[in-house]
Amino acid sequence: MSERSNRIEGLSQRVAALVDAENLPALTERLEVLDAQIGSPGFWDDVDQATRVNKERTRLSERLDSLRGLQTSVRDNLELLELAELEADEETLQVIDGDVVELERVIRKTELQRMLGGPHDAANAIVQIKPGAGGTESMDWAGMLLRMLTRYCESRSWKVSMIDYQAGEEAGVSSATFEVQGESAYGYLKAETGVHRLVRISPFDSNARRHTSFAAVAVMPELSDDIDVEIDDKDLRVDTYRSSGAGGQHVNKTDSAVRLTHLPTGLVVACQQERSQHKNKSKALKVLQARLYELERQKQVETREELAGEKGEINFGSQIRSYVLQPYQMVKDLRTGHEVSQPQAVLDGDLDGFIEAFLLLQADSG
């Protein structure tokens, strides 16, 4: 068997593993059930439920089409390769080589999607960035992380909407919260939750000394409407203030921005994205619900670890990655061991390797 045949046979085995794991007959049966629901009288009487069914149907149909397409592509390339090698057709062999490279990319993407099996991995994400102690240094680092994460989102064609942005006194940001809308945004971005550490020669130090800065990233799923996190009005303090962000004269002349404080937990969220105070309050409430949901999830994780006798900090409070710009160049993820020697590319949003390593680690430990 030729090297090309071995390569395609290897891809065929990976596709077969994906098909087995996905259980195509069960997916096909579920699609038929959804189609029957959509075709039933009165389906659109409950618009919210109908929208959820349609979304599930679309995702399911895309998964089936993708898997069947992979099966067909592998089979077609194997058959074509047999003929091309028999006839020594170099032009066709080169076309097959190109197809195989694309197949490998699509299969890898599908394998990663398989790892996003968490209850909220398909959801949109809410991301918060806060600098650690260290004043201007940490605020500048938080600003660099904001740029890195938004660049990554843009590379995946996800929509980024700023919810709250507080500029640092001299540079960077003192806090930033933004929403990310895109396929499995939370599933991918959750890999960035934790404390990020930067080592560099400070641009703010006249003596050009090396400084270490910290900033925390929190990623939460945007909760769907069928998940209800109750918040009692008496547990909320609502403050309004004048927006400091862009938005025109109306925003800057009225107290349209809203800050919510959840008194039992001390959690504080703010929104100044919208021109309307009512809309800002609604958006801030959604962020608060996501934070409370994540807080409860983390408590459950901590309890399980205590019962299992495991030690260590909760992920949100732990250092996950180091970015070293001086005296050498390196970015290393402390959870997975994945590292690269080109930090500027990472800071420009090239996070695929780190996120893929995190998803693989999760899959192996799961």
pLDDT of residue 311: 39
The percent helix, strand, coil of the chain (3-state, each to 5) is 55, 20, 25
Assess whether pLDDT exceeds 50 at residue 314: no
- DSSP bridge pairs for 239: 259
Q: How confident is the model at residue 304 (pLDDT cuts 50, 70, 90)?
A: very low
Distance of CA 145 to the CA centre of its chain: 14
pLDDT in tens, 16-65: 998 998 888 999 999 999 999 999 999 999 998 999 899 889 989 988 99
Average pLDDT of 131-158? 94
Q: Do domains 3-115 and 125-221+308-365 have the same CATH topology?
A: no
List pLDDT tens digits, range 243-293: 765 443 334 456 789 999 999 999 999 998 888 898 899 889 889 988 888
Structure tokens at 320: 């996950």
Tokens of 179: 């929403």
Pairing relationship of beta strands 194-201 and 173-181 according to DSSP bridges? unpaired
The verdict on domain 125-221+308-365 having CATH code 3.30.420.140 is: no
Q: In the predicted model, is pLDDT for residue 338 greater than 60? A: yes
- Tell me the pTM: 0.71
Q: In this structure, which CATH number among 3.30.70.270, 3.90.1300.10, 2.60.120.620, 1.20.58.410 belongs to the domain 3-115?
A: 1.20.58.410
Cα–Cα distance for residue pair 155/315, rounded to 1 Å = 26
Kindly list the distances between the CA atom of residue 108 and the CA atoms of 116, 144, 271, 357, in Å, as whole numbers in the listed order.
Answer: 13, 29, 38, 13
Question: What are residue 131's phi and psi, to 5 degrees?
Answer: -75, 155
The encoded tokens of residue 271 equal 């929104």
Q: Which residue has the tokens 């909220």?
A: 120
- For the record, the structure tokens of 178 come out as 């933004």
Position 308 confidence tier, pLDDT thresholds 50, 70, 90 = very low
Domain boundary assignment for the chain:
3-115, 125-221+308-365
Distance CA 157, CA 271 (A): 24
Q: What integer pLDDT is reported at residue 244 of this predicted model?
A: 65
pLDDT of residue 130: 93
- Tokens linked to 22: 């996905």
Sign, CA dihedral 23-24-25-29, equals positive
Q: Which amino acid is at 218?
A: A
At residue 2, what are phi and psi to the nearest 5 degrees?
Answer: -75, 165
- At 118 the pLDDT is 79
User: 184: which 2 tokens?
Assistant: 């499995």
What value does the mean pLDDT of the chain take?
87
- Per-residue burial over 1-19, b if 16 or more Cβ lie within 10 Å, else e, is eeebeebbeebbebbeebe
- Note the pLDDT of residue 245: 52
Q: Model confidence over 149-178: pLDDT tens digits?
A: 999 999 999 999 999 999 988 899 999 999
